[in-house]
Each structure stands twice: as C-alpha cells, then as structure tokens.
Structure 1
Amino acid sequence: MSYDKSSFGIIALAAYKPDWTLFAAQLRSIQNQTHANFECLISADGGFHEIRDFVSRELGGDERFRVVGFDDRLGFYGNFERAVQQVPERAAWVALSDQDDSWYPSKLELMIPYLAGASLVAGQARVVRLPDNEVVSSSTRRKNVALDALLAQNQVTGSLCLFRRELLDLALPFPRLNTISQVHDHWLAVCAKSTGGVRVLENVVQDYVQHGGNVLGEVGGRKSLFGSFKHLRQLAGKYQGSLGPLAMLKTAHELSFGWRKVMADALRTRVEVAAPGFDEGIAPFESGHTWTATIRALVLALRRGDVALSCFLEFVAGAPFEMFLKGRRR
C-alpha cells in the first residue's frame, strides 16, 4: 500500500450537538488540507438533518464531505465506532476528527508518509482555551512508549492520529466496558502497538480547543484529595447507580485495571501476528496477571515518566477490588 500525496483516505468525524461556530472552523480546516484526496465521513449521533444541511451550506456542497445519521444515540465511543465501520476497503488510511478543533493545513501531507513505517501515527497539538484563544500549552507532549506503558496510560489522542485502514480488521468491533476510561483512541493505539507499531511525532499539527462542552478535556487543574473523592463518587453514581463504598471501589477498579484488562484480553484473543514484546506488554494487565509483573510494569513506567503519578494512583485505588476479584477466582 502506498502512503504518499496520491493516497486516498477517510477522515472519520463524530458529531453531536456541535457548537456551530467551532464546527464550521473545523470543517474549513479539513477542507483546506494540502492533501486533498480524501472523503470526510461525518457520523451524526442525533440531529442528522440539521448537521447535513449545515455542512452542505458551509462548504458549498463539497462532495468530499458526507453525513450519515442514525436513529439511536450511542455516545462518542459508539459514534466513532459507527463512523469507522463505514470506511471502505479501498481507503489506504483513516484519520479521526473531533468536531471542534482546527487542523493546520499541512497536517495530512506531513503525517501520511510516516504510515509506511507504522500502523498508527500521532502528532501533537497546541492547546487553546476559549473564549479568548488563550494558549494553555504549546504542545500536548505525547511520547513513544512500550506496550505495557501505553496500556497503562494512553499517549494517542484520536484527533491527532492517522492509521492504516487494515488496523480496523483487528480493532472492530470495539470492546466494551461501561466506564469513562473506555475510549476509542486508547484501543486503536494498543491495537497498532501490538501489530505494526505506533509512531508519535513531535510536530504540532493542530489546535486542540478547550471549552465547556468538551467530553474529555486535554488539560485541567490538579484535583485535591477531596476533589478526587468527589469525582469518584459522582462516577460511581453514574456508572454503578450507587454512592456507597463498594460502588466507589468498583468504579476505581474499572477506571484502572478493568478497562486495561478488557483491552489486554481482547488483544490476546484477536492478535494473530504480534509485534516483538507483545506477550510482555499485555501480561501485567490481562486476566490472570501476576502482581509481580503488574507492579514492576507500573513502577518502571512511573520512573521513566511514561505514566503520570495521577495514573499510577488510579491503579493504587483500583487494586483492592482487583485483589478481591483475583481471590474469588482461586
């Protein structure tokens, strides 16, 4: 497969009740890419007719942009899955897009050639905050890490990545766990790392726009211990239907060990030809993992700076319920 200026690809954009001003800016930034051989597939998670008509008006009927809609709303994880399910086999590559960022004109032209050496390529973003376009960070500072560290903490933001079309043969259908840590880009990243590799570039390729409607924010202030407890309690109420101690322990587990175990077990089942280091990479998190392997992987990743302290502490919080589950399986 060729990955050059002539290669055709799909940009999969998940849309839901967009801010129309930001949405228009993002659409125009895609339309103005210097690599023009693409189709932008916009999956509307509700409001299909409104989004379709807006895209047509805003882009002057540009036939590269197509909106598909569905009767049921699935949320951003399921909506991205539906979007990539529509990608035709003739596409060489797939790029993911949020509805409210702004791509730099040469983003695709710069990144596509790197797919010759990796299944997935990711860039960096400048983080800006509305309403004043305040620059929060000049770069997201993602990095290349080993599979076990990537499983522990994601280094790939969906809107910053491109991947080979055939990665979807492994990644679909997306695995499921009803938790906020279940995200499409993390799953795609570990799929790529397990097979053809991941390449994280230092190049800043877009603005990542922070505003009140973000599903997952890029940069936020540090929570106090009380703030973290309050946030965990809120998530327990949402995902477990209870605010009790057991629900909070289960929530802490699913945020850490639970989601990683779902991914690691799915990889163990699906991957047929693995990249070097695959077994060692998923062993700390798959079902039946040993605590020696898990603790070693987390501590070494923390020391290398491949996982943040906050991520490490999430695993600490999730450990009691993980030990409880391991005890029941004996």
Structure 2
Amino acid sequence: MPFDSHSFGIIALAAYQPDWDLFRTQLLSIQAQTYKNFLCLISADGGDAEIEDFVARELSGDDRFKVLGFPDRLGFYGNFERVLRQVPSHADWVALSDQDDSWYPTKIETLLPHLGSVSLVAGQARVVRLPGNQVVAESTQRSNVGLGSLLAQNQVTGSLCVFRRDLLDLALPFPRLETITQVHDHWLAVCAKATGGVRLVSDVVQDYVQHGGNVLGEVAGRKSPAQSLDHLRAMSRKYQGSGSPAAMLKTANDLSFGWRRVMADALRKRLGITDGVDDALAAYETGHGWRSTSRTLVAGLRRGEIALPCFLEFMAGVPVELFAKGSRS
C-alpha cells in the first residue's frame, strides 16, 4: 500500500518520571511535525496524573496526544509493549518515541514513504550530550545488514524507526528474558527483517539526547578488562542474584546467546520454517549447530556487520552454551 498524507499512524511514546524540560522539547517537536495525521499515545509507566496535566498544559489541549496511565511499573521494555498493545487495528503505521529526544520537523514525512516497500525503516540521529548540547556525533551511522548479523547486533534504534502496523501481529506479545540485552527495538527489527524487510537510510531525523538518566546510551567509553569484569559482576548480581563465577558465566551467556536464542525460538514458533530466514534462525535457536553459529558470527565480523566487542561478548557466553549442548546430547 502507498504511505502518504492520508495514512493514519500512531506515535507510541513510553514515559517514566521524565525530565520536564526534555519532555517538553520532545512533545513540541512531535507536535511540530510536517506530517499531521497521527495520534500520539503516551504510556505513563506507574501513574499518569502529573504527566497528563503537563501534556495538556504544554500542548494547549492538542487532541492528537493521549496519555494512558497504568498503576504498575513495568520498565521500558514492558512499557513499550503495553503501549503497542493499544495501537488500533485501523492504523497504517507506528513510530516509537522516547521521552527525551528532539525530532526534526520532517522526520515522519521523510521516513514514511519507505514503508511502501519494507516493513520497517529507520533513520539516523545526531548525538547530543547534556549539559551544554555538545555534539558528540553528527550521525549514528547505523547500517543495513543481513538477518544473521542483525540478530547478533542490533542496528535499529527504536526512536529512529517507523514500521507498518501489521508488524505487531507477529511481534506481540514480546518474548521474555530478564537481561539488559532484552530490548524492544531489537525484537521489532528482527521480526521486520524476517518478513517484510528493514531499511536503514542515511537521513538524520532527530537529536538523540544523552544525559545521566538514559536507560540505554549511545556513546560510552571503552572499558578495560577489569571494568568489563566489574560490569559483568554487577549484571550478574542484578539478574542472577549472585556475583559468583557460575552466576557470572550464566549472565555472560544470557547477554549474548540467551537473548538471541529467545528471539530465534519465538520467530521459529511464530513463522515456522521460512525460506531465506531458516539459516539465520538456526545459528541462534535452541539446539543450534556450532558450524552454522560460528560461520554466521565470523562472517558478520569480517564484513564489519558485527563489531569486535559484540563478537567477544559471544565468546564469553560460549562455556555455558557448550555445557548446555553437552547436557542435551
């Protein structure tokens, strides 16, 4: 179908205790879009009264913005799933929004036409650090990669993408694995890549604002081996309840193979065996063969589609993967 000025869409914004100045900037940037035919659903994670009052006041009662309040807090992954469940079936497209960025006026207008040929399109962002609005990078420089590499390393930032409404028929409900690598945009991206396709374009469509409250950041310094070990131990204590060596090995596996296995298994179940995606799923799903896994990871590394730190994270997850495979055989 053509996606033009008559196509109605939903902007799904997940909010939680926002910085009010940043939230105001984001709301106003959405309101100022040159593309006007949308409804912005704002999911307030754990309460809504203060957010609802703020939105009504700052946007002068613009009825294209609707706040959905929920008493329970789910975190950003669950909150995005919750707001996407509210997208009406008659919508043509969906755009995801964080609460603290700043969209350029032509963002939706620029991205929407690409949905005539792919299921999901994503642009680039200029990375800005606060305080001081320091420009860290002129572009996020995400790139188009194959499904095997996309499963290994996500190239799609949720706040930069627009996708067809029917993608939600496959993507909902979200699969679950309690780890920091469990993210909504990665799951939506692989669902789109496995079906109607993903396109990353070079257009810079917004500022991606980095500050102390980011759940996931864009720019981080390279960690030393000791810092990496401390980070892994902290993640292990958070998600495994222990900083023991065994718990750290399990965490390393969950951060790499675990989340990809959850996605691959979910797609296998929902799609069945599908020409063109079977090899990619086989590299990560439960009971995967090491030949296909190593071939996929090494090929992605050589092509520059998988960064070396990501490849090394997979290597850290190998011991538990081998043990699990030995237990099944």
Does TM, normalized by the shorter one, top 0.5?
yes
Are the aligned partners of 2:47 and 2:72 in contact in 1 as well (CA < 8 Å)? no
Equivalence for 2:49: 49
Equivalence for 1:323: 322
| CA offsets 1:63-82 (integer angstroms, 9 cap, x no match) | 00000011111000000000
Q: The residue matched to 1:39 in structure 2 has which SS? A: strand
Equivalence for 1:82: 82
- Alpha-carbon distance between aligned partners in 2 of 1:25 and 1:47, rounded to the nearest angstrom: 21
- Alpha-carbon distance between aligned partners in 1 of 2:299 and 2:207, rounded to the nearest angstrom: 32
Q: Does 1:180 align with 2:180?
A: yes
Moved more, 159-168 or 43-52: 43-52
Equivalence for 2:93: 93
CA offset at residue 47 of structure 1? 3.1
Are the aligned partners of 2:102 and 2:207 in contact in 1 as well (CA < 8 Å)? yes
Are the aligned partners of 1:153 and 1:307 in contact in 2 as well (CA < 8 Å)? yes
Equivalence for 1:286: 285
Which letter does structure 2 place at the counterpart of 1:153?
A: Q
Equivalence for 2:110: 110
Equivalence for 1:28: 28
Q: Does 1:156 align with 2:194?
A: no
Are the aligned partners of 1:11 and 1:38 in contact in 2 as well (CA < 8 Å)? yes
Q: The residue matched to 1:243 in structure 2 has which SS? A: coil
| CA offsets 1:232-291 (integer angstroms, 9 cap, x no match) | 0000000000010001000000000000000000000101584x5200111110111111
CA offset at residue 84 of structure 1? 0.4
| CA offsets 1:33-92 (integer angstroms, 9 cap, x no match) | 000000000000023100011000000000000000111110000000001000001100
Are the aligned partners of 1:147 and 1:277 in contact in 2 as well (CA < 8 Å)? no
Which letter does structure 2 place at the counterpart of 1:328?
A: S
- Alpha-carbon distance between aligned partners in 2 of 1:219 and 1:270, rounded to the nearest angstrom: 35
Moved more, 98-107 or 277-286: 277-286
CA offset at residue 229 of structure 1? 0.4
Q: The residue matched to 1:68 in structure 2 has which SS? A: strand
Percent identical across equivalent pairs?
Answer: 69
Q: Does 1:260 align with 2:281?
A: no
Structure 1 unaligned residues grouped into runs of 5+: none
- Alpha-carbon distance between aligned partners in 1 of 2:306 and 2:6, rounded to the nearest angstrom: 38
Structure 2 unaligned residues grouped into runs of 5+: none
- Alpha-carbon distance between aligned partners in 2 of 1:117 and 1:91, rounded to the nearest angstrom: 17
Q: The residue matched to 2:230 in structure 1 has which SS? A: helix
Which letter does structure 2 place at the counterpart of 1:301?
A: G
Are the aligned partners of 1:126 and 1:138 in contact in 2 as well (CA < 8 Å)? yes
- Alpha-carbon distance between aligned partners in 1 of 2:224 and 2:203, rounded to the nearest angstrom: 33
Which letter does structure 1 place at the counterpart of 2:278?
A: D
Equivalence for 2:234: 234
Equivalence for 1:223: 223
Q: The residue matched to 1:124 in structure 2 has which SS? A: strand
RMSD: 0.9
| CA offsets 1:131-183 (integer angstroms, 9 cap, x no match) | 01111111111000000000000000000000000000000000000100000
Q: The residue matched to 2:206 in structure 1 has which SS? A: strand
- Alpha-carbon distance between aligned partners in 2 of 1:285 and 1:153, rounded to the nearest angstrom: 12
Equivalence for 1:169: 169
Which letter does structure 1 place at the counterpart of 2:280?
A: G
TM-score, with length taken from structure 1: 0.99
Q: Count residues in correspondence.
A: 329
Q: The residue matched to 1:260 in structure 2 has which SS? A: helix
Structure 1 stretches of 4+ moved >3 Å: none
Equivalence for 2:295: 296
TM-score, with length taken from structure 2: 0.99
Are the aligned partners of 1:2 and 1:92 in contact in 2 as well (CA < 8 Å)? no
- Alpha-carbon distance between aligned partners in 2 of 1:69 and 1:281, rounded to the nearest angstrom: 39
Which letter does structure 1 place at the counterpart of 2:86?
A: Q
Q: The residue matched to 1:40 in structure 2 has which SS? A: strand
Which letter does structure 2 place at the counterpart of 1:32?
A: A
Equivalence for 2:249: 249
Distance 1:107 1:273, change over 3 A: farther
Are the aligned partners of 1:10 and 1:38 in contact in 2 as well (CA < 8 Å)? yes
